[in-house]
Amino acid sequence: MPFSASDLQAIWLTLKLATATTAALLLLATPLAWWLAHARTRWSAVVGAVVALPLVLPPTVLGFYLLVAFGPQGWGGQLTQALGIGLLPFTFGGLLLASIVYSLPFAVQPLQHAFQAVGRRPMEVAATLRARPLDAFVHVALPLARPGFVTAAILSFAHTVGEFGVVLMIGGNIPEQTRVVSTQIYGHVEALEYGQAHWLSAAMLVFSFVVLLALALLTRRTARVYA
């Protein structure tokens, strides 16, 4: 068995975090991406830029600000304490929040492109057939944008699995709560446990390759279906 018990814990926690993040992101990103795809105000450019920030910011910047903002003196920390959730750093909830922010563009951008590709026309047609906006959205726009949802889900999941800087900054490295695969690998390397580092890294490599391959095959298939 190349994986120790703590390695397996880290793998399990990582999968849990990535699943929860993906589910939350699909719920959050769908209306946001819809609005970004169709809004004609200057604000949509600003919001679009904010959503894209995690693509260019080093994760340590994100982690650092989350640590300060959600600490007892920060505005976020004051808020979560007032809501009775306590402080978020060093908890699974804190990691989840950080991952949602960190993976946001990976969910929003594919969805936005999919909605733009669908365009206004099908919705207008649905409206002439007396479908209410929500009805048309659920039964017309969503099915048409399906490839976008598949891409968004896969990318959010995979990107969260690969998260490192953010969890290093606000995680606290607690087994079963905040110690994920990437920080586990980092720990193995720093502790000179190169054998264990190799096994986990290789697993990560294979996983990432499979995800990207699956994505490529899926997009090719859907492209054929919609061609």
Closest CA to 93 of 27, 153, 16: 16
Task: Kindly state the smallest distance separating residue 5's Cβ from other proteins, in Å.
Answer: 15
Q: Nearer Cβ to other proteins, position 90 or 92?
A: 90
Residue positions counted in the chain: 227
Task: Kindly state the smallest distance separating residue 82's Cβ from other proteins, in Å.
Answer: 16
Q: Nearer Cβ to other proteins, position 25 or 88?
A: 88
Region of residue 89 (left: phi > 0; alpha: psi -120 to 50; beta: else): beta
Q: Nearer Cβ to other proteins, position 6 or 116?
A: 6
Total Cβ atoms within 10 A of residue 1: 7
Q: Nearer Cβ to other proteins, position 123 or 189?
A: 189
Which residues here bind other proteins, judged by CB under 8 A? 67-68, 70-73, 87, 89-90, 168, 170, 172-174, 183, 186-187, 189-192
Q: Nearer Cβ to other proteins, position 125 or 174?
A: 174
Closest CA to 182 of 165, 156, 164: 164
DSSP symbols for 88-156:
-TTSHHHHHHHHHHHHHHHHHHHHHHHHHHH-SHHHHHHHHTT--HHHHIIIIIHHHTHHHHHHHHHHH
Task: Kindly state the smallest distance separating residue 171's Cβ from other proteins, in Å.
Answer: 8
Task: Kindly state the smallest distance separating residue 191's Cβ from other proteins, in Å.
Answer: 5
Task: Kindly state the smallest distance separating residue 71's Cβ from other proteins, in Å.
Answer: 5
